[in-house]
Amino acid sequence: MKKISSLLFLVFLPFFSHAQGKDTNIFSLPIQMDEFVLQASKSGWDVEDFIRRVKEDTTFYKAFRSLHVTPFTSYNDIKIFGKKGAVIASLNSRTRQNRKNGCRMMDVLEEKTTGDFYNKNKEYNYYTAELYASLFFTEGKVCGEDNIVAGHENLRGKGQLEKNKWQLKQLIFNPGSKVAGVPFAGNKVAIFEPEVAKMYDFKLMLVEYEGEDCYFFSAKPKLQYKSDVIYNELSTWFRKSDYSIVARDYSLSYHTLLYDFDVVMKVRLKNVAGQLLPYKINYKGNWHVTTKDRERTTFNTIINY
């Protein structure tokens, strides 16, 4: 039962080149580069070092940890859909996180719900909503937090929900790493491991994203392996000046006799007073496990600082 419920967090989840360059073998991964990256590598730019940065990046995780120490206003829109595509429950709210004396608290400025979003005790009737709340809402007063990354990536709290949050954290912040405790799927997300990497096409190009030069790195499955992998797309925009992540798109799907899911997620970040922070998150998911009703959910989050 615990293994099945852990799958729910797995799904909460997540090039057009001017000229095609020859494949370059990096960590046994063939990477197709556009003419700009290819010329840069010939001039001494270290492609291998870039791929290592992709694998070891912590700026994305730090941006989300910084939410715990930053005042912000969040616009939250969650919709639950029925079998025929109609909205059967929803939440639309505006919340404000405040910081005082090293603690954070949240005020609900506006809230409107429809359907059976809550039960009579104002508990969440839908697991996706519960997980969303655990990640983006603050209950009571929370103190003693920081945005330090080192030593926190692999920390896991007690209880099933905390275990699920840890699994989601691995998928979002360490894509390509193995995720323990997910039946049949844990190793399939390790897209940089040789046995999984061979199923993907990796591409790298230099692009402009919202006025900044960025390296765009993507992993997409080869046609013959589409039914054997979990990531349908993993695309990331890295700011050229310091390799910070400014945007990431995920698409994940998988089907077994015990569960199935199809999830698309887009995350956008920006600089606020010299600090990288998330400001827009979009999610669309359809998942089912044998012990739960199918959930078809979208959420859109906009964060202002």
- pLDDT digits 0-9 by tens, 231-282: 899 999 999 998 889 999 989 888 877 778 898 999 999 999 989 999 999 9
Q: In whole angstroms, what is the distance from residue 169 CA to residue 167 CA?
A: 5
- Residue 89 is predicted with a pLDDT of 98
Phi, psi torsion values for 256, nearest 5 degrees: -135, 175
Least confident of 23-37, 197-211, 270-284: 23-37
pLDDT of residue 2: 43
16 compared with 14, residue with greater pLDDT: 14
**DSSP annotation of 118:** B
Q: Give the residue-averaged pLDDT of 70-96.
A: 97
pLDDT for residue 230 is more than 70: yes
- Whole-number Å distance between alpha carbons of 106 and 14: 27
DSSP label of 13? -
Q: For the segment 75-84, what is each residue's pLDDT rounded down to a tens digit?
A: 999 999 999 9
Pairing of strands 200-209, 142-143: unpaired
In the predicted model, what is the mean pLDDT of residues 14-25? 34
Q: Looking at residue 68, what DSSP letter applies?
A: G
Residue 186 above 60 pLDDT? no
pLDDT at 284 over 70: yes
Q: Quote the pLDDT of residue 204.
A: 92
Q: Which of 55, 15, 11 is nearest to 284 (CA)?
A: 11
Strand duo 212-221 + 72-81: pairing: unpaired
Mean pLDDT of the chain: 81
Give percent of the chain with pLDDT exceeding 90.
Answer: 48
